[in-house]
Amino acid sequence: MILHGYWRSGTSYRTRIALNLKGLNYEQHGVDLRRGDQRSETYLRLNPQGLVPALEIDGAVLTQSPAILEWLEETHPAPPLLPSDPVARAQVRAMAALIGCDIHPLNNLRVGKALREGFGADQAAVDAWAARWITPGFTALEALVARHGDGWCFGDAPTLADCYLIPQIYSARRFHVALDAFPRLLAIETAADAHPAFQAAHPDRQPDAD
């Protein structure tokens, strides 16, 4: 498997976590979003949308991290990242979607660039924009973890929800978002900091990191 991604991309980060949790070996090819590598002819042949990540597998290319993570769960079911109970599976997927649909897309690199170039936002304004979406999302997630978590987002082992959460906490810190109101989420971050799969996926440990 070849993972095309960017070291600081939240979607690439969550994909690395899932691959590591599954114990899978993969090569990494860096796509520098700041240089515009994602718009190169070579990369667009892999992913016409020009986004990361893209995962090459047996002559096929998978794009969009939710689809990649679901494929990983279907083809490499152990250890599971979704519970066996259908209701519990839906609850974990909802926690992941809370981040993947309602928080992350609003504070990724493309949006930050649009705010700066199209609306004259300085870094303080970009940080405030990110907090505007991260804070209410984390407030809801904190309540869901209180309801369902037992050391991780759902239960006592990492799930898809944790694959989404840890990169979003990393992003929140980059945008200087206050996190003191989310002790359960911070406790999960502490657990992830001690887990080899999460450690190996950290942006600072990637071959293309600054």
* List of E strands, the chain: 2-5, 27-30, 54-57, 60-63
Look at residues 120, 108, 101, 102 and name the one whose alpha carbon lies nearest to residue 174. 108
Please tell me the distance from the alpha carbon of residue 31 to that of residue 118, in angstroms, as a whole number: 24
Angle at 168 between CA 120 and CA 10, to 5 degrees: 80
Helices (H), the chain: 10-21, 41-46, 65-75, 86-102, 109-119, 123-148, 160-174, 183-193, 196-201
Q: What are phi and psi of 197, to 5 degrees?
A: -65, -40
pLDDT in tens, the chain (210 residues): 999 999 999 999 999 999 999 999 999 999 999 999 999 999 999 999 999 999 999 989 999 999 999 999 999 999 999 999 999 999 999 999 999 999 999 999 999 999 999 999 999 999 999 999 999 999 999 999 999 999 999 999 999 999 999 999 999 999 999 999 999 999 999 999 999 999 999 999 999 998
- CATH number, span 86-197: 1.20.1050.10
Task: State which H helix or E strand residue 95 sits in.
Answer: helix 86-102
Q: What are phi and psi of 30, to 5 degrees?
A: -75, 140
Q: So what's the pLDDT on residue 209?
A: 95
What residue ranges do the domains of the chain occupy? 2-79, 86-197
pTM above 0.85, yes or no: yes
- Taking only the tens place, the pLDDT of each residue in 175-203 is 999 999 999 999 999 999 999 999 999 99
Quickly count helices (H) and strands (E) in the chain: 9, 4
Task: Kindly list the distances between the CA atom of residue 157 and the CA atoms of 1, 80, 161, 167, in Å, as whole numbers in the listed order.
Answer: 25, 9, 11, 17
Please tell me the distance from the alpha carbon of residue 163 to that of residue 171, in angstroms, as a whole number: 13
User: How many other C-beta atoms are found inside a 10 Å radius of the C-beta of residue 36?
Assistant: 11
Task: Give me the CATH topology for the region 2-79.
Answer: Glutaredoxin (3.40.30)
Give me 163's structure tokens: 């694959």
